[in-house]
Amino acid sequence: MPNSQTAVLGGGCFWCTEAVYKRVKGVIKVEPGYAGGNTINPTYQLVCSGVTGHAEVARITYDPSIISYSDLLVIFWYAHDPTTLNRQGNDIGTQYRSIIFHENDEQKLHAESSLKTADSGELFTNPIVTKIEPLETFYPAEAYHFDYYNNNPNQPYCRAVIASKVQHFMERYQEK
């Protein structure tokens, strides 16, 4: 799509992030992947070991005439716990860190403003630990990670973790 834009966000397990954003009006595509580390062409196994420095992320391609980058960030704060360092629930390690990768100065400004608003004390009682960094390289995850929740709805992790995040999002943001 010629007028599409992308956002790269890390909110813990990329299966969870992908499952939420695939349900957002105006989102064209969501790709799980890796960013922010020092290993070229990382694999899931390497990223899970914690040695690559990469975070599990989702690259979200969206139509800005339907949903804005700022609205994607509002969903980001709501879709995970940005107050836990290198952890989301039972998923522990730097690969699960909360991070916003900006692709340009405009995204950086929106991310910083959004973080300031989210960290004002109204949404979270604990301080936000989310990092904001420039995106250097996005590496798509292996094919079996794409659309993981929809393809594996009965897998225990999907039923126990992802389903509740999706339901929580759908209840809160029905209009989106």
Is 16 a residue of the active site?
no
| Residue given tokens 């992030």 in the structure block | 17
Q: What is the pLDDT of residues 49-88, one digit of tens each?
A: 999 999 999 999 999 999 999 999 999 998 999 999 999 9
Domain count, the chain: 1
Report the C-alpha gap between 128 and 17 in whole angstroms. 18
Give the domain extent around 152: 5-172
The string of DSSP codes covering 5-23 is EEEEEEES-HHHHHHHHTT
Q: Which residue has the higher pLDDT, 144 or 3?
A: 144
pTM of the predicted model as reported, rounded to 2 decimal places: 0.94
**Are 101 and 57 in contact, with CB atoms under 8 Å apart?**
yes
Q: What is the pLDDT of residues 124-175, one digit of tens each?
A: 889 999 999 999 999 999 999 999 999 999 999 989 998 888 887 788 766 6
Q: Which domain CATH number covers 154?
A: 3.30.1060.10
Active-site residue, selected from the candidate residues 13, 16, 48, 158: 13
pLDDT at 176: 64
